[in-house]
């Protein structure tokens, strides 16, 4: 694969992984439009809040981490979620954050009763607009009924 400059990346590092995810995320946005019209016409209902960004993040994680790859990978691992996400990230050349989104979507967590799982990082918030402080990137809450409620920070992983 070549970068925007036309040169192959020197190493498959953080920037390469982010670039792949960003392209996949932006490609998912195209599904909301009829691209045969000039200019393209929106065919999907207008999103409420940041609903479309959440869908595009989810779609990008599905595109880069297809079901078979994730299922096969999980059958051959017996480690904690952090190590699993790190190993999956290395294998699939996507970010750790993208892997966490995918594992949360796959309902990876084994203990699902009255549990809260949080992945956080110190950053300046959405598009670097806020104060630098610890922020939640992904959280999964399992109540007494074992049903999950999720929150994803709306960034491009």
pLDDT reported for residue 36: 93
Alpha-carbon span 62 to 11, nearest angstrom: 24
pLDDT reported for residue 9: 52
Coil, helix or strand at residue 34 = strand
pLDDT reported for residue 130: 84
pLDDT reported for residue 64: 92
For the chain, the domains span 14-152
pLDDT reported for residue 141: 83
pLDDT by residue (tens digit) across 106-148?
777 777 778 887 878 888 877 778 889 887 777 888 887 877 7
Q: Which residues of the chain have pLDDT under 70?
A: 1-13, 151-157
> What pTM did the predictor assign?
0.68
pLDDT reported for residue 156: 43
């Amino acid at each position: 694969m070549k970068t925007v400059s036309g040169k192959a990346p020197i190493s498959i590092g953080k920037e390469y992984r982010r670039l792949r995810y960003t392209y996949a995320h932006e490609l998912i946005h195209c599904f909301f439009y009829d691209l045969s019209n000039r200019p393209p016409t929106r065919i999907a209902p207008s999103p409420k809040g940041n609903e479309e960004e959440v869908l595009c993040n989810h779609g990008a994680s599905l595109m880069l981490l297809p079901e078979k790859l994730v299922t096969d990978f999980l059958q051959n691992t017996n480690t904690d979620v952090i190590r699993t996400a790190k190993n999956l990230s290395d294998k699939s050349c996507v970010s750790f954050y993208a892997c966490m989104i995918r594992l949360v979507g796959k309902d990876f967590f084994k203990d699902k009763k009255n549990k809260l799982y949080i992945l956080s990082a110190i950053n300046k918030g959405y598009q670097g607009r806020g104060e630098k402080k610890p922020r939640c990137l992904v959280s999964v809450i399992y109540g007494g009924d074992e049903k999950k409620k999720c929150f994803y920070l709306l960034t491009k992983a």
